[in-house]
Chains A and B, each alone.
Chain A
Amino acid sequence: MKLHIVIVEPDETRAKLVIDSLQPLGHQVTVIAEASGLARRVCDIAPDIVLIDMSNPSRDTLEEMALASGPMERPVAFFVDRTDRDLTLQAIEAGVSAYVVDGLQPERVATVMDAAIARFQMFRRMRVELETTRRALEERKLIDRAKGILMKARGISEEDAYALLRKTAMDQGRKVAEVASALVTAAGLLS
């Protein structure tokens, strides 16, 4: 029997990656991208499992469903209640949380979670890499501007300007980018 899985994920590319990992297991996957009306839409779809990024603030809305127990509502449990500790820890570290309909066999949940955890770990790595690259690029730009300011103000070469920044940073026990940032801010104030 195939499971109906809902993914709550505003980013289309990321949602597609999760779909690609779950569909080969023979499951039906639906994506909800919008935060508004989330509880109602999940209830209408009546999935077996809901997957959501832990960093998504809409998680609390799903939490409410997990507590609902009206006659027409399917009981839902938060994943940590019913599965083994290792898998739960892995899920939390990967940043994925899952809401599972009561009575679903733990082994079936585990296969879905294994696939989802792998994908979310990949996202996490990608996110960290992207952030590192972005920061490096920003620092590069700052240092270039600081060098420009020094070259103009002191009439020195680019190489000397960089050497001066680096020496100041070393003397003060700070990063070159921090010194550059301070200089750019100060120059902005003085001009």
Chain B
Amino acid sequence: MNLTPLRVGFVPLLDMAPIVIAQEMGFAQAEGLKLDLRRAPSWSSLRDMLLWGQVEAAHMLAPLPVAMALGLGGAVARLDILQVMSINGDVIGVSQDLAQRLRNVGHEFGFSDARRARDDLGKAATGPLRIGVPFPFSTHVELVTYWLRDAAIAFELCTIPPPRMADALAAGEVDAFCVGEPWGSVAVELGAGTLLLPSRAIWAVAPEKVLAARHDWVSENPAQTGRLMRAVWRAAKWLCVPGNRLIASEILARPEFVNAPVEVLDRALRGEMVISPQGEFRHVPDMIRFFDGATSFPWRSQAAWFAVQLAARHGLHPGRSIEAAKAICRTDLYRQNLRAAGADLPGASEKLEGSLHHATAVASERGQMILAPDAFFDGQIFDSSRKPR
């Protein structure tokens, strides 16, 4: 069979799994595609590769296309969010020195209570905290900023590429970090840090990575876009089968992909986290999610939440920012391309964010859609349809 080559960029992280699995387990081939996976050394490079046509699609930080839609950070072309590739999957970790100070104020590293962790961090910090994040436009930045916004903790964010995060913590360049797996667990393995929270403790369904493509490419290549979306969606479905996790870890561990130990990659996939060099163990349900709970649907309300946070920090008009963010979420293409593949489709393209405390059935075409709890740690509810003041 003649396969159409398609270049897809990625940054080495566990959450790139759907595109690697799409290629390695034959889902791309079934759609007549051969994915040429291009590893990018940094998020800015991957963004440029996508903007300047060196790749057709990419594994991308969810807030990055949103920031570009808002005109932030050198927007030279519009990027579309085709679908969400992963939810959750980041960890917040602290240096061994800060971990000791946290233990001294009585913190027990329960690894679930964001409010408690924040309060104890305020007691343990002796000066402004330097917190490493992978990129200025990232779920990591939005979650950390949201988490610490009302706390009396002075902090400064420092951009550090994920694979360097453990070294930066060990070298004392930063006191803490928020990074995608496996790089947090790698820091634990190296004895450089202790994990304080999974990102889901701040927002239980934070979209982490999306499948992004240039808007003009998507318009000119509707068939290829659909084939790519189906291949990635089926890969995500495959990833949600527990029996496939180890195979996934083994493929991802290869040097050309994430280049990290299988055993370390496997922890987040199973939600069985080792949080300290002493080997303390925590079970985290939904540590990272690729498929169930309508994960892959590009909810306009989730992009809107990022837009509101970004607009507030950069002095932009909130209402216009929300509209710009919603416009790049291609819920139309998702419905059109994935209906036939068997995806259940929600009745609405946006929802209240933060209102579900239990798994809840919602209106959908097949009537099988169950949304996972999506609460924010502070109990806020975000309504993207309400006019912001």
A residues lining the B interface (CB < 8 Å): 35-37, 39, 54-64, 66-67, 77-78, 80-81, 88-89, 92, 97
Contacts and interface: CB of A to CB of B under 8 A. Distances in A.
Most chain A CB within 10 A, of B44, B72, B73, B161, is at B44
A61 B161 CA distance: 8
Contact of B48 (A62, A77, A80): A80
A63 B44 contact: yes
Given A66-B73, A66-B74, A78-B74, A60 B52 contact: no
Interface in B143-189: 157-161, 163-164, 168, 171, 173
A81 B76 CA distance: 7
Given A61-B160, A64-B159, A80-B48, A92 B74 contact: no
B161 A58 contact: yes
Given A60-B135, A66-B74, A92-B54, A55 B161 contact: no
B74 to A, nearest CB: 4
Given A36-B171, A77-B74, A88-B52, A60 B158 contact: no
A14 to B, nearest CB: 16
B268 to A, nearest CB: 21
B161 A60 contact: yes
A67 B73 contact: yes
A59 B49 CA distance: 14
A60 B134 contact: yes
Contacts of B52: 80, 88-89, 92
14 contacts: A36-B171, A36-B173, A54-B48, A57-B41, A60-B44, A60-B135, A61-B161, A63-B135, A66-B73, A78-B44, A78-B73, A78-B74, A89-B52, A92-B54
Given A63-B73, A89-B52, A57 B158 contact: no
A97 B44 CA distance: 10
A132 to B, nearest CB: 18
Nearest to B138: A60
Most buried by B among A39, A56, A59, A89: A59
Contact of A57 (B51, B76, B164, B171): B164
B180 to A, nearest CB: 14
A78 B75 CA distance: 10
A39 B158 contact: yes
A78 B43 CA distance: 14
A60 B43 contact: yes
A59 B44 CA distance: 7
A35 B164 contact: yes
Given A36-B171, A55-B41, A63 B136 contact: yes
Contacts of B48: 54, 80, 92, 97
B42 interface: yes
Contact of A63 (B157, B159, B168, B173): B159
Given A36-B173, A60-B134, A55 B45 contact: yes
B168 A67 contact: no
Contact of B76 (A54, A64, A80): A80
Contacts of A63: 42-44, 73, 135-136, 159
A81 B74 contact: yes
A61 B159 contact: yes
A105 to B, nearest CB: 19
